[in-house]
Structure 1
Amino acid sequence: MPQAYARKGAEPPVVAAHRAALAELPFGDRQDFEDAARGFVGTIPDAAVTAADGRVIWSLAPYRFLEADEAPDTVHPSLWRLAQLNCRHGLFEVAPRIYQVRGFDIANMTIVEGDTGLIVIDTLTTAETARAALELYRAHRGPRPVKAVIYTHTHSDHWGGVKGVVDEAAVASGAVAVIAPDGFMEHAVSENVIAGNAMLRRAHYQFGMFLDVGVEGQVDAALGKSISRGTVTLIAPTDLVRETGETRTVDGVEMVFQMAPNSEAPAEFHIYFPAFRALNLAENATHLFHNLLPFRGAEVRDPLAWSKYINEAIELFASRSDVLMGQHHWPVWGQARLQTFLRQARDLYKYVHDQTLRLMNHGLTAAEIAETLTLPDTLARPWHNRGYYGTVRHNAKAIYQKYLGWFDGNPANLDPLPPVETARSTIDYMGGADAVLRRAREDFAAGRYRWVAQVTNQVVFAEPGNQEARALNADAFEQLGYLAEAATWRNAYLFAAQELRRGPTAAKRAVGGDPLKALTIDMVFDFLGVRLNGQKAQGKAFTINWVFTDPAAAYTLTLENSALSYLSGRTRPDADATLSLTRATLDAVISRRTTFLAEAQAGRLKADGNLAKLAELASLFDDFTPDFAIVEP
C-alpha cells in the first residue's frame, strides 16, 4: 500500500459551488466576529499547552493559515468563516464577574467569580489544558481559589480536565463542591466503554484527528478547532441537580438550574445567574446546527425534547437575561438578539423533527427524506443555524432511525448481502471493474462526485488491491471534502481519501485512569461480556465468585451458553472458584497492566478452587484496537 501521496486541488465544479455560496450567504454580516472578540482580556501565544515531558497537548499555531481573508478553493467559504472564528483564543469577560477561556480546547471553560473564590463551569478535555486555562485567568484576575466545579453534561470535553483545576483531596474534604446533572456518572463513563473501541475509530473520521492541518486537510471541528491530547481525569460529583427550578448558592452566587436530559447529552442542564442576568445553555444553543447522531456513534438524540427545552428556557429566563453563553463558541449579548437567537434555534430542531416525521408518514425513506428536506430561508440563513456539525441531511436520517430504525420497509433491504459480496456481484453485473472505472472517470470529470465515490468504493470492496479504483475513489472523496460546509463531513471525506491512499491509521486504545476507576463493577462485568468471544466459549460452562475487599462487594459470574451473566451481592457455594481481590487489582488487569496469574503469584489475588477456570476465562476475551478498516474491506 503506498504510504505517501500528493493531495489534489479543487476541481472546477467545486470552485463554482464555492463562488455560488459566496453570493448566496450573508458574508457581509460581521456581528459574530465582533462578539467573538468582545471582552478580550489576554492570552498566551497560540494558546500553546505542553506537558511536563515537552509533548504538545494543544496549539493553534498550525492554524495560522486561517489568517487569510479569503477561503481557498479547497475549503467551503462558510466553513472557512467558522474556522476563523474558532481561532479566537484567550480570556474574555462575558459580564461583570463572569469570564470564559476560549480556544484552549474544543470546549470553553466558564469562570464565575464568587465572593471569595471561583466557580468553574466545565473543565475542558484534559488536565493540561484546564490547568493552562485557569492559570491564564489567574494571571489577569488574581489567585482566587476554586470553590466549586460544575459539569454541565456528560461528554468528556466538559469534565476531563477537572484535576487541572482542583484535586480529589479538596473535593473529599468538602472544600470544593462538584455539581452535575442527575445521572451524570452513569452516562459519563458508560457511553464510550461498551462500544468505545468502535466509537473511537469512527471519531477519527468525525474529527480528522490524523489529518494534516491545512487548506487541503483539517481546518476545524465545528465546535472548536480539535480535541486536546492530554490526560483525561474525572472526579465524581458531590451534588446532583435533579429538577428544573432547583437552586444552589455557592460562594454568594445564586444559580437556577433547568434540566435538559436526552437533548445534546443524556444528562445535561442549563444554568441561570439572576444577579448577573446571564443564561448558560451548555451545549444546547451553540453557533451551529448540532448533531442528532454523531458520526462516531451514540444513541440518537431527541430533537423534539431539545426544542422544548430551548422553548422552556425562553419562557423561564430570556426576558430576564442580557447575555446568552454556551460551553462552545462565543456569547450573544442583548435581550432582543438573544431571544431571536433562541427562537431560531428552537424552531430549527422543531422544524427538522416535524418535517422529517411528515415526510416519513408519506412513505419516504431516510435517504429520500434527506434528499427532499430543505430549510426555509428564515432558518437557513442565520449563521448559528448552519450545518457545520450536524447537517439537515444526516440529522433527518437520525430522526428516521429514532422512530423507525434501520429498515426502510422494503423487503429487498431486509437481508441484503454483506458489503464485499454485494460489491463483487454489483461490479460483475456492471461489466467488471474496468468498465465501471471508465464510466466513473467520465462522471468525475462531470462533477458527479457523490456517485463516483459510491460506485468506486464498490470496486474497492470487490477488488481491494485495485489501485486505480482506490485512487479514483480517494479523488472523489477529496472533492466531496472540499465541497462540504460541515466540518464533520469534510473531515470524514478527507480522512477516507487519506486511508485509501495510505491504508488504515494505526491507533492504540488504552483503557485506564479515572474513567476506568469510575466504572461500576457491574459496568466492568458488562464490558467483559462484550469482549467474550462467543465462538471460543462454545461448550464451556463454569461459575466464579468474585469477593472484593476494597471496596467490599461480592459477585457471581457465570459462563453458560457462550454468554456471561452475573449477580451482585451474593456468591455461590458450588462455584468452580472463588477469588478475593481489590477493585484496583481488577482495574489493573482490565487495563492490561498485569494479568490475573501475575496478581495471584504476587499475592494480590487469592483464589480457592479451580484456578484453571480463571485462566480459561481470560483466554476467551477479545482485544479491541481502533484500527479496523472502514472505507475498504
Structure 2
Amino acid sequence: MPISKPLISMTAAISLGFTSSIALAQEIEHFHPDGKLPSEHTLKVFEEARANLPFFDTQDFEEQAKGFMGAPTSMIIMADAGNVAWDKERYQFLRDDDNINSIHPSMLRNSQLNLNFGLYEVIPGIYQVRGFDLANITFVRGETGWIVFDPLTAAETARAAKELLDEHLGDIPVVAVIYSHSHGDHWGGVRGIVNEDDVNSGKVEIIAPRDFMQYAISENIYAGNAMNRRLFYQYGVLLPANPFGHAGQGLDLNVATGNTGLIPPTRVIEDGVEEIEVDGIKMVFQNTPGTEAPSEMNTYIPSMKALWMAENVMGLVHNIYTLRGAQVRDSLRWSKYINAALYSFGDQAEVMFASHHWPRWGNDRIQEVLRDQRDIYAHMNNVVLHNVNQGVTINEIHNVYQSPASLDDGWTTGFYHGSRQNNVRGIVNFYIGHWDNNPATLIPLSPGDSAPLYVEMMGGAEKIMIKGRELHDQGKYLEATEILDKLVHAEPENQAGKDLLADVYEQLGYQQENSGLRNAFLAGAFELRSGIPGGESPKTSGPDVIRAMSTELFLDFLGIRMDSTKTVGMSFKINLVLPDNGEKFIIELSNEALTNIEGYQATDADLTITINRSDLEQVMMGAKSLNAQIENGTATAEGDLEVLSFLASTMVTFEIGFEILPGTATRVQNEKSNPFSIDAFADIPE
C-alpha cells in the first residue's frame, strides 16, 4: 500500500512533545482497521536504542554488499502450482528509514541487511545466491561441476538461483550437494537443482551429517501440526508485510512457499571430524550435533582457506529455545563446537561464510566473530546456571540475565532470531525442566478455569478494563497483559477486552528488537481482532518427506494420531511384513497405547498384513488406502480385518487452525496440515 513521507521525524516528534497519534497520523497507513500507531512510550524505546547502539558502524553493510554480481529483474519467484513462492518486492518499504516509526531500530537494521537479493562472489570459486529464500544457497566450483551447500526450502527458489548463476557463469552441472543440517530450509529445494536419477546413478553425490534423515523427518512429523500452527506466531507467516506487520525474520525476511522435496544422502559424515574429497576438492567436515540442529556440520576447505559455519555462526544469536517448538538446544555444547572450529580452522581461514547472512573476510575479522559467538553462548549457559544454583527460577531468569556490555556494544551478537528472554528460559528448561520449584505451580489450573476466579476477585470486567486502559496509557504494557489476559480467558466473547489486549500486544510487538517476539505479539493482536486467519503457511512435509519416513516413524506417528479415549478396554496385535526390504513389525494396542517393535512377529496376532514397503509408501503419502491395496491384491491380509476398521475409527486428522487465544476461532479456515492427506485406513468396511 502507498506510504507517504513523514511530516516530521520520530526524533523531532518526541523532542517537540507530540504524541504518537499526532506525529504519525499522516505517515503510514496501518494494514488493519483497528490497528494503532506506536505510542509515545514505544517511540521513547526507539529513541533510546538510536542513542545507545553503534549505528555509525557500517562494516556489516560493506560485507553484505561485497562481491555483488547481479540480480534478476523481478523480485518475485512463482511456484510451479501458480502461486507466489517468494516475494521480496513487498519488503522494499524497509529501505525508507525516515518513514518507519513502528519497527525497533536495531531490528530494522537487521532487516535492511537482509534486503540483499542476487548473486555474490564470496571468493573466486565460491558464489552465493542470497535473498531468494530464508537461507542462502552456495556454489563451490569443483573439478567437474558445482558443489552446492544447502539448496533452500523450495525447488522453485533453488532453480531460480541456479538459473541466475548460469546466466553469469555459464551452464555448469551440479555434481554434489551438501546438506549442512536437518532443517527444511537447507534441503527442501534439492529437486530444483538435481535430478534424482542422477543421484541414483552416482552422477551426483549428496552428503549429510550423521543422523540427518532421522531428524529431518522426525522434527517435522511428531509435533508437526502444532509447529506449523506456532509458525504463525514466531515467523508471522500470515501477517501482511508492512511497517506495522511483518518486517523481517532475523535470518532473512521470510520463508519461501513452494515444492519441498527431499533426496536422501548418498554419503553420511559419521566421524566427529572427517576429511574427504568432493569433486577433487579436499573438505574437512566437523560434526556438531546438538547445536543449532540435532544433526549439523561445519566444513573447512583448506585449498580456499574458506570456513563454512552452517547455521552455527551467523550475523546474530540463534535460538536455544525456538518459539515454533523444537528440542531445546545445548548452549554450552554450541559454544564448545564454535571454539573447536576457532582453534582448528580459525587461524587459517581467510573467508567465513554460512547458510544465512553475509560472509566475513580477513583472519582477524573471522576470529573476532567466532570468539564473540562462542562467548555469547557460553555466557548465557554459565550465567543462567550460576543464577539457577542460587535459586533463580525459570519464571525469573529472563528478568535477571544481562548479556555482556562488551558484546551488546557491537553487532556480531544481536538477538534478532533467538531472544535473550526465551533463550535463557530455554537453558533453565534444558537442565532442570519447566517447574519453578513453587508447589503452587505443580498442578496448575488451566487458564480457562483459573481466570474466572481472578476476574471475580478483581471486581469484574469493567474494573479490569479501566485498570488495563490506565496501564496501557502509562506504557506499562507487561503489567496490562497480566490482568487483560485473565479477562480474555474468563470471557472469550468480550471483544472489547480482546481489542484492548490486542492494543497492548501491538505496542509490545513494536518495541521488540527480536523478530520472533515482534511477530508473536503482532500475530496475537491480529487474531484477537480478526480471528484466526486463513491462507497458505509454509509446509514442513510433502511427498518426499513422507516417503523418506522410516516404517517405524510412520507407525509411531499413528500412535500419536490415535485418540486413546476410544480404545478403553480394547486390545489387538497386528503383524506387519514388508518383503521387499525385509522389515517385520508387531503393532500392538494395549492399555490405550499403540506400540510397535521391529524384528518380531506375534504367534497370536489378530491380523497379519503383508505389503511391500514401496506400496506402503502410497498409503503413507495418502495416495491409496490400505484397504484398497488389500482389495486389489497389492497387499494381503490374514485374520480379522475388523481390527483395521477399529483402528481407523480412532485416528484423528489434525487441523492447523486450532485456537491459541480464547475467542479467536470464529473465523477459522480449517486447513489440514496432517501429512497423510488421505487417511491411511480409509474405506475399510465398518
Both proteins in one fold, TM over 0.5: yes
CA distance 1:511–1:88, change in 2 (3 Å): closer
**Structure 1 Cα separation of the partners of residues 272 and 445 of structure 2:** 49
Question: Among residues 92, 96, 100, which one is paired with 1:72 in the alignment?
Answer: 100
**Structure 1 Cα separation of the partners of residues 417 and 326 of structure 2:** 15
Instruction: Give the Å deviation of 1:16.
Output: 1.0
Question: Among residues 428, 434, 439, which one is paired with 2:456 in the alignment?
Answer: 428
Q: What does 1:139-150 align with in structure 2 at a 5 Å threshold?
A: 139-150=167-178
**Structure 1 Cα separation of the partners of residues 411 and 99 of structure 2:** 17
Conservation of the 8 A alpha-carbon contact between 1:507 and 1:625 = no
Conservation of the 8 A alpha-carbon contact between 2:147 and 2:175 = yes
**Structure 2 Cα separation of the partners of residues 397 and 277 of structure 1:** 38
Conservation of the 8 A alpha-carbon contact between 1:369 and 1:397 = yes
Instruction: Give the Å deviation of 1:595.
Output: 2.9
Offset from partner CA, 1:564-601 (integer Å, 9 cap, x none):
12222232232111222233443443444443333333
Question: Among residues 313, 330, 333, which one is paired with 1:285 in the alignment?
Answer: 313
Quote the sequence identity (%): 41
> Which secondary structure state, in structure 1, belongs to the residue aligned with residue 395 of structure 2?
helix
Conservation of the 8 A alpha-carbon contact between 1:506 and 1:626 = no
Conservation of the 8 A alpha-carbon contact between 2:274 and 2:285 = yes
1:11 aligns with 2:39: yes
Paired position in structure 1 for 2:512: 484
Paired position in structure 2 for 1:606: 636
Offset from partner CA, 1:268-313 (integer Å, 9 cap, x none):
1111111111111111111111100100111110110111111111
**Structure 2 Cα separation of the partners of residues 306 and 525 of structure 1:** 33
Question: Among residues 195, 199, 212, which one is paired with 1:171 in the alignment?
Answer: 199
CA distance 1:364–1:65, change in 2 (3 Å): same
**Structure 1 Cα separation of the partners of residues 281 and 379 of structure 2:** 37
CA distance 1:4–1:25, change in 2 (3 Å): closer
**Structure 2 Cα separation of the partners of residues 589 and 252 of structure 1:** 42
1:20 aligns with 2:57: no
Paired position in structure 1 for 2:383: 355
Offset from partner CA, 1:531-557 (integer Å, 9 cap, x none):
111100111111112222444422221
Paired position in structure 2 for 1:559: 589
Conservation of the 8 A alpha-carbon contact between 2:260 and 2:542 = no
CA distance 1:241–1:136, change in 2 (3 Å): same
Offset from partner CA, 1:457-509 (integer Å, 9 cap, x none):
21111000001100001111111111111010111111000111111234687
> Which secondary structure state, in structure 2, belongs to the residue aligned with residue 296 of structure 1?
coil
**Structure 2 Cα separation of the partners of residues 293 and 502 of structure 1:** 29
Paired position in structure 1 for 2:112: 84
**Structure 2 Cα separation of the partners of residues 304 and 555 of structure 1:** 39
CA distance 1:6–1:584, change in 2 (3 Å): farther
1:378 aligns with 2:422: no
Conservation of the 8 A alpha-carbon contact between 2:573 and 2:588 = yes
Conservation of the 8 A alpha-carbon contact between 1:57 and 1:230 = yes
Offset from partner CA, 1:499-522 (integer Å, 9 cap, x none):
111112346879541111111000
> Which secondary structure state, in structure 2, belongs to the residue aligned with residue 613 of structure 1?
helix
Q: What does 1:83-122 align with in structure 2 at a 5 Å threshold?
A: 83-122=111-150
AA at the equivalent of 1:414: L
Offset from partner CA, 1:112-145 (integer Å, 9 cap, x none):
0012211000010111111111111111111111
Gaps of 5+ in 1: none
Q: What does 1:167-206 align with in structure 2 at a 5 Å threshold?
A: 167-206=195-234
Instruction: Give the Å deviation of 1:35.
Output: 0.7
Paired position in structure 1 for 2:600: 570
CA distance 1:56–1:112, change in 2 (3 Å): same
| TM-score (structure 1 length as normaliser) | 0.97
Offset from partner CA, 1:13-59 (integer Å, 9 cap, x none):
00111011101101111111111110001111343211234321112
**Structure 1 Cα separation of the partners of residues 613 and 568 of structure 2:** 29
Question: Among residues 57, 60, 80, which one is paired with 2:85 in the alignment?
Answer: 57
1:253 aligns with 2:299: no
Paired position in structure 2 for 1:36: 64
> Which secondary structure state, in structure 1, belongs to the residue aligned with residue 299 of structure 2?
strand
Gaps of 5+ in 2: 1-30, 664-686
AA at the equivalent of 1:162: V
Paired position in structure 2 for 1:210: 238
AA at the equivalent of 1:542: F
Q: What does 1:494-509 align with in structure 2 at a 5 Å threshold?
A: 494-506=522-534
Offset from partner CA, 1:48-98 (integer Å, 9 cap, x none):
211234321112011111121336221111111111110111110001101
Instruction: Give the Å deviation of 1:167.
Output: 1.4
Conservation of the 8 A alpha-carbon contact between 2:220 and 2:541 = no
- Greater Cα offset, 525-534 or 69-78: 69-78
Q: What RMSD over aligned residues (CA atoms) do the two structures have, in Å?
A: 1.6
Offset from partner CA, 1:309-337 (integer Å, 9 cap, x none):
11111101111111111100001111111
Conservation of the 8 A alpha-carbon contact between 1:47 and 1:90 = no
Paired position in structure 2 for 1:454: 482
Conservation of the 8 A alpha-carbon contact between 1:511 and 1:591 = no
| TM-score (structure 2 length as normaliser) | 0.90
1:45 aligns with 2:73: yes
Paired position in structure 2 for 1:535: 565
Paired position in structure 1 for 2:324: 296
